Amino acid sequence: MRTYSIGEAAKALNLTPYTLRYYDKEGLLPRIERTSGGIRSFKESDLEALKIIECLKKTGMPIKEIKTFIDWCSDGDDSLRQRYDMFQERKAVVQAQMQELLNTMSVIEHKCEYYQTALNAGTEAVHKHTHAKETSPA
Amino acid sequence: MRTYSIGEAAKALNLTPYTLRYYDKEGLLPRIERTSGGIRSFKESDLEALKIIECLKKTGMPIKEIKTFIDWCSDGDDSLRQRYDMFQERKAVVQAQMQELLNTMSVIEHKCEYYQTALNAGTEAVHKHTHAKETSPA
DNA sequence: GCTTGACTTAGAGTTAACTGTAAGGAGTAG
DNA sequence: CTACTCCTTACAGTTAACTCTAAGTCAAGC
């Protein structure tokens, strides 16, 4: 099975060696092996674990919480329930983020239309209501 | 038209007075008025502008870029094109974020199933492939 | 008239997640 | 042999976005 240096692993994951060393320091790579010369040797399984770590990061999970999960993984079957619950919670978090993103998109799209109309008219005044004494263009 | 103190505005927007002062210091509230005593007086239009600011923040826009937009708003109709382009770009950003969130969700859901199965079996070994010498539980 | 509470400023401190520096080691090309 | 490149550690520096502190102002209630 081929292995990867920290630079190769970084490239494969679109990260930097700095970041990978930082993850290691924070305890996110407990199983990482070293060569006789002390150089980190990333296996395919390490890259897979890092992909999960990046996935959890994308859900907004802080690194300390990810470390808790990594520790659970090292604990074996005793922590299956915690890990299951964690992913269920992450699922709920992502669902909420999706809903929020939809709301955000709705506002952005309204603004796109607003500025499309203003651009066609050549002036934002086209949106001024007669009853509004003052409006903020933002 | 009723106005709001910084504390009231913060509550209405689910922010803190510290944050609103910080935004002001960064130039995000150029039109904010003050009472004779020097106290910030938020109008409805200021709250609306802040809602747009919060919306842009949710798309991951840094505060310095939001300030650029706020400055454009003060510039009047000359900047309509820039503002339109900016919202189009934000729309593309949010679409990309949505796609990424869908990918993330897919991974999370696979892990939910993985741990559901493991939990039913009482052990993660249920997922071990015969050809795999070693796997990372993450 | 005095206390209370919310407001003001300038500026310092915090946090997360990197990001870079310095000093040095090891393997490879010429 | 020597230069080059990548690796190592320890630790300092950076950045964004707050978050708080200190010292002071001001209006309202008792």
Over the stretch B5-26, which tens digit does the pLDDT of each residue have?
999 999 999 999 999 999 999 9
Closest CA to B12 of B34, B41, B44: B44
AA letter at B1: M
- Pair (A3, A41) in one structural domain: yes
Q: How many domains does chain A have?
A: 2
Which of B 13-72 have CB under 7 A of nucleic chain C? 17, 21, 38-40
Domain span at A99: 77-126
CATH code at position A47? 1.10.1660.10
Beta bridge partners of A40: A34
Tell me the C-alpha distance between B120 and A93, whole Å: 24
Residues 6+ apart with CB under 8 A from B28: B53, B63, B66, B67, B70
- Pair (A81, A54) in one structural domain: no
As a whole number, mean pLDDT of residues B70-82 equals 97
A72: in domain: no
Closest CA to B12 of B48, B39, B37: B48
B37: in domain: yes
Q: For chain B, what is the mean pLDDT?
A: 94
Minimum distance, in Å, between the CA of residue B81 and any CA atom of chain A: 7
Chain A segment 83-102 residues within 8 A of B by beta carbon are 83-84, 87-88, 90-91, 94-95, 97-98, 100-102
B114: in domain: yes
Report the nucleotide nearest the CA of residue B61, measured to C1'. Answer: D16
A136: in domain: no
| CA neighbours closer than 13 Å in the CB half-sphere of residue A40 | 21
As a whole number, mean pLDDT of residues A86-104 equals 98
B117: in domain: yes
B8: in domain: yes
Residues from chain B contacting residue A92 (CB–CB below 8 Å): none
Query: Which one of A72, A87, A116, A135 makes the best mutation probe of the B interface by having the most chain B beta carbons within 10 Å?
Result: A87
**Which residue from B81, B87, B108 is facing A91, i.e. has the nearest CB?**
B108
B83: in domain: yes
Residues A21-79 pLDDT 10s = 999 999 999 889 999 999 999 999 999 999 999 999 999 999 999 999 999 999 999 99
Given a cut of 90, whether residue B136 has pLDDT beyond it is: no
* Helix (DSSP H) and strand (DSSP E) numbers for chain B: 5, 2
The whole-number pLDDT of residue B130 equals 52
DSSP-derived 3-state class of residue B4: strand
- Pair (A91, A49) in one structural domain: no
AA letter at A15: L
B108: in domain: yes
As a whole number, mean pLDDT of residues B25-38 equals 94
- Pair (A52, A91) in one structural domain: no
